[in-house]
Chains A and B, each alone.
Chain A
Amino acid sequence: MFGGMRVALFATCLVDGLRPEVGRATARLVRRLGHEVVVPAAQTCCGQMHVNTGYPKQAAGLVANHVRAFAGADVVVTPSGSCAGAIRHQHEDVARRYGPPGLAGDAAAVAGRTYELSEFLVDVLGLTDVGAYYPHRVTYHPTCHSLRVLRVGDRPLRLLRAVGGLELVELPEAEQCCGFGGTFAVKNPGVSAAMLADKLAAIHATGAEYCTAGDASCLLHIWGGLSRAGSPASTVHLAEILASTTETEEAA
């Protein structure tokens, strides 16, 4: 519906440092849909970990950096429900309390132009079929912040249902948290592990080859558990599925 937008990609710190393939997939997908992708080099981290662990003052510098990095962007897209949620629901407040004058307004402006990937595709571009092809049995875990902070609803499922070759299987108790919770996983390791064990059992019950989600952080947690358990199942980010085409899959 829009032709040739200029999209600023916010990869997130976790994708930048540990899962670069998710950032590359997001860029490839958006370019394939006919839009220009820019990756502002000044981007680092949205500051969510600091805010949610009790360090909002320290997060203010990160918010300021994020706002500086994306001030010139028309549209910011990020492959993370959690980070998009932090930008939209925390940045302005942190900036007002702990940032320099004027930062709160600028943060609100950037937040207003920021979209999680499935929101961008469905709401901004008006697409559910992005021409992807991914011939695998896949189950979808709606991450808590996508579901209950951003309220992305069934957008990711609508995108997945339109993917060629993909067999979508329903995850039992899908809306239960996987137990990640950022620093919760190391501060409350026992409870986190108990929640993860139940999530892994649910994934195994589906017989899916892949568990997908819109957050690399939750997927890292789930992957860590699947890998340790020697599971045949693995994880794949929604962006990676949507970026796959008949060409990439046949090449693979």
Chain B
Amino acid sequence: MTSPPTAHPVTELRAAEPFPVNAAVQLRNEQLRRNLAGATRTIRTKRANVVGELPDWSELRAAGAAIKDDVLAHLDTYLLQLEERVTANGGVVHWARDGAEANRIVTGLVQARHATEVVKVKSMATQEIGLNEALAEAGITAVETDLAELIVQLGHEKPSHILVPAIHKNRDEIRELFQREIPTAGTIATSEPRVLAEVARRHLRAKFLSTPVAISGANFAVAETGTLGVVESEGNGRMCLTLPRTLITVMGLEKLVPTWADLGVFLQLLPRSSTGERMNPYTSMWTGAVEGQEFHLVLMDNGRTATLADPDGRDALRCIRCSACLNVCPVYERTGGHAYGSVYPGPIGAVLSPQLTGVRENLSLPFASTLCGACLDACPVAIDIPRMLVHLRAKAVEAKGPTAESAAMRLAASTMRSPRRWRMALRAARAGRVLGRRDGVIHRLPFPLTGLLRGWTAVRDLPRPPRRPFRDGTA
């Protein structure tokens, strides 16, 4: 029925087609480009303002990185400490090697409680493993309660942003969707956010009060106390975390902080970086189970220890899923999240997804960046995403084996590491002067260059090679 655990999960972290193919589809959608440009610009500006007002932002950032590095260096110790504290407080801890195993554990827990419906707190970990789909296969309906997740779920779509999953949709599209998909909606008169939120609120209230099991992720787990934490804006998460009798939390292994005091750093870094708020409206914390309720914690690896094993890639596990890097990324702004084909899009997705799946399963994502560096500047835990992308590109090239590109790059390297061969190549390039004789500009290249540089000459001209290279006339 279920496959044996594998080192790397695949389905929710990669697309069938490579990034440039998916991106081309998204780029044709003018409405999407407008929605994204507007939304990312708004969040970018808000973030810049609230980050700019903190005089100690760079110290906070360094502290965030240092705390996460300590967690990653002593992950074994902290995980066992967490397990011990959660268990001592009446919770039950489960360990899952991969998504399939986590899905199996959660499905089994829900089935044992004879539930056919569960409410969900917005969670990246459960999206990463396709938990909703796994539950559906077992006849269990998972209801997303985060407003934007609900929009995506009702539209039978995938999220396109870590924090704002429906960023690709505007309010008129959402009104139309609610009208079609929510039976209790009645006639929705306008597309005002207040009106739309009210429709969702009525729909969800009924679910909170009637559903026996809730499933969440976690933003943080405190090893010393066994406390789990979720930060959110709407309060729907808190409804799920408090009302149902059973709470199941699925958490990636790396989401730990050592001490309660460490939360002070991350509760400043996260809201400012993600929503551009000084503080998020709802921060819910719980330690074990309270009387009359039960709590299960599923600690999931799913490619994380493989990521941890790579010294040049492991910093990606510092990520606190704020999505600041998405909002400043010029590539993400043009393509949106769906082009990445992973639940983790944008710059962090381009380094995290290939590491969680293994680079071989995600060969194009490390190249989905101009290396402009805006992501590193925005990252609240200082993940050097550009450097990591470059590292993963080398791994991708190795995984691909010999290609036309690798042959060309080898030839270029062998030419350029010899001053003599380079000089000869420059002189030979003068032959290119037969092109662009009319106006001194090359508009189209002849075969075989036309194939190699088609992407360039589609929208750009090239200058005609000079009569003499620089080295031959420095006067």
Contacts and interface: CB of A to CB of B under 8 A. Distances in A.
Q: Do the two chains belong together in a single complex?
A: yes
B413 A191 contact: no
Contacts of B410: 55, 58
Contacts of A49: 412
B24 interface: yes
A144 B330 CA distance: 12
A190 B417 contact: no
B469 A20 contact: yes
A196 B459 contact: yes
A17 B393 contact: no
B396 interface: yes
B409 A50 contact: yes
B416 A45 contact: yes
Per DSSP, chain A at the interface is: helix
Interface string A41-83: 1111101011111111011011011000100000000000000
Contacts of A15: 470
A168 interface: no
A52 B334 CA distance: 22
Contact of B334 (A18, A45, A195): A195
B383 interface: no
A17 B27 contact: no
A192 B410 CA distance: 25
Given A181-B369, A228-B443, A188 B23 contact: yes
B156 interface: no
A144 B470 contact: no
Nearest to A28: B475
A187 interface: yes
Per DSSP, chain B at the interface is: helix
B331 interface: yes
A238 to B, nearest CB: 17
A166 interface: no
Interface stretch (B5-13, B110-118, B225-233, B371-379): B371-379
A197 B460 CA distance: 10
A224 B368 contact: no
B312 to A, nearest CB: 10
Contact of A189 (B405, B412, B426, B455): B455
Interface size class of B (residues with CB under 8 A): 35 or more
A175 B369 CA distance: 16
A177 B455 contact: no
Given A16-B426, A54-B397, A181-B370, A191 B335 contact: yes
B453 A186 contact: yes
B441 interface: yes
A149 B419 CA distance: 28
Contacts of B377: 148
Interface in B329-353: 330-331, 334-335
Given A44-B416, A184-B370, A53 B393 contact: yes
Given A181-B371, A186-B453, A55 B394 contact: yes
Given A54-B396, A55-B406, A148-B376, A190 B475 contact: no
A183 B408 CA distance: 13
Interface in A5-49: 11, 13, 15-21, 23-24, 27, 39, 41-45, 47, 49
Nearest to A195: B330
A23 B471 CA distance: 9
Interface string B397-430: 1100000011001101110111100100010010
Interface in A111-156: 144-145, 147-149
Contacts of A202: none
A69 B336 CA distance: 45
Given A50-B412, A191-B23, A224-B456, A16 B367 contact: no
Contacts of A248: none
Q: Which 9 A-B pairs have the closest CB atoms?
A: A181-B370, A189-B455, A224-B460, A54-B393, A148-B373, A61-B417, A54-B397, A58-B413, A177-B372
26 contacts: A13-B416, A17-B426, A18-B466, A20-B469, A23-B474, A41-B471, A51-B390, A53-B405, A54-B396, A55-B410, A56-B390, A58-B409, A58-B410, A147-B373, A148-B372, A148-B377, A182-B371, A184-B371, A185-B460, A187-B455, A191-B20, A192-B455, A194-B27, A194-B334, A227-B460, A228-B460
Interface of A: 11, 13, 15-21, 23-24, 27, 39, 41-45, 47, 49-56, 58-59, 61-62, 64-65, 69, 144-145, 147-149, 175-177, 179-197, 220-221, 223-225, 227-228
Given A186-B454, A190-B27, 13 more contacts: A17-B469, A20-B466, A45-B422, A64-B417, A148-B374, A176-B330, A179-B370, A181-B369, A186-B452, A186-B453, A189-B455, A221-B460, A227-B441
